Amino acid sequence: MATIYKSLVKSGEGSQDFVKTSDTISSGMWAGGAGSITSFFTSSAQSASNGQYYLDVYAANPQTDSTAQPQFSIAYGHFQGSGSKGLKGTAGDRASKTIYSQVANLVLAAGTDRFTFANQVAGKKNSIYVMSVARQQLREKMDPGNWELHISGGYDEPQPSILKLIDDSSSVAQEDGIGGRVFNIVSGSIDGGTNIKTAAADQANGGLGLFYPDLGLLVFNGYSLNLAASLGEATGSNSLGDNNTNFFNAISSGSKFQARREEVIDSQHYFCRIPNADFNYSSNPTFSLTGSFTQQTFIKNPRTFITQVGLYNDNNELLAVAKLSKPLLKSFSREAIIKVKLDF
C-alpha cells in the first residue's frame, strides 16, 4: 500500500526534523534589487497635490512607466516655517514647519525640538533637508557604510561640481537614540573601500547631517549642505521657496545614489527523511491499474519517482508544496533526505 503521510519528529523526540535559523542578508536597495540609481524622476500629479511638503523620487519616469514606484522621498524643513507659505499665528500651510516638527518628533528625544549637528555653527540650526527611503525598498534597514549619494554643485575633488556623501560608521562608535542607530553624514566615497574626506567635526560650516539606518532616514544640516552644494536655500517668510525642487535638481544632476539594505531572514528547515521501506508504491495510474502493476518489474522491485513534497498540519491541511528540480528515484534499496526550506 502506498504511504501517503509521514510525521516529522519534533524537538525532544529524538532526531530533530525541523530547525529554525536566522541570516542577515545584504542586497541592492532599489527597484529590482539594483544597487544604484543614476536617473531620477518626480511625479507631476504628486508634486501638484502635496509637493510643497515633499517630493516622491522615482528611478523610472512615472509618466511613461505605469510600474514605476517611489524609491525615496525628499523634503525641506524649517524650524520657524520659513521658505513656505503661511505666517505664524495665522492661517496657512507653513509646510516647512510641519516637516521639521514631524522629523524632529520621530528621532529626537523628548524635550528636544531642534537638530544639533557636529561642529554646529551658532545660530545656524533652523533648517534641514530630508531623505526618507520608501518602505518597500528599505524592507528592514539600510546597510551602514554601503551607500554613497552624489549632489551637484559641491566642491568635492576631483570633480569640483559634485559633492559625494557617505556615513562615518567605519570610523566612529555607534550611537543609539529613539530613532535607533545614528551616524554622521560626511563627505567621502566608498569606491574601492571607505574613504572619508572630511570628518563631521572638521566640517567648516558644521556637520553635513545625520544618518538613521534603522529608519532609512537621512537628515541634512540645511545651512552646511546649502553652502557645500550651492542649493540656493530660500528662507523668506510667507513665500514658496521651492527648496524641495532645488534639492531634487541637485540630486538628479549628481546622477548617483548607491545603497544597500540589510534584512534578517528567518528560515524554517524541514528534513523529510525517507527510509528504504517507505514511499515505494504509488496510486498514480502509471504505477498500478485495477490492482495490478503496470510493469512486471514492479512485482519484485517496485520503484517510484518523488517529484514534490507537501507539508501538512495536524488536520491534514496542505500548507506548502516544495517541488524538486528533477525526479528522485525511490526503491527498497534507496533512502533519501529532502530538505525543504521556508523563508519568512
Domain boundaries, the chain: 18-22+265-343, 39-255
What was the pLDDT predicted at 301? 82
Share of the chain above pLDDT 90, in %: 65
Encode pLDDT of 120-145 as tens digits. 998 888 999 999 999 999 999 999 99
What was the pLDDT predicted at 92? 58
Average pLDDT, the chain: 90
Please list, in sequence order, all residues whose beta carbon lies within 8 angstroms of the beta carbon of residue 190, skipping any fewer than 6 positions away: 145, 146, 147, 148, 166, 258
What was the pLDDT predicted at 239? 81
What was the pLDDT predicted at 93? 65
DSSP string, 93-158: --HHHHHHHHHHHHHSPTT--S---TTPPTT--SEEEEEEE-HHHHTTEEEEEEEEEEEET---SS
What was the pLDDT predicted at 300? 79
Rounded to the nearest 5°, which phi and psi values hold at 107? -125, -15
Residues in the chain, pLDDT under 50 = 1
In whole angstroms, what is the distance from residue 174 CA to residue 181 CA?
7
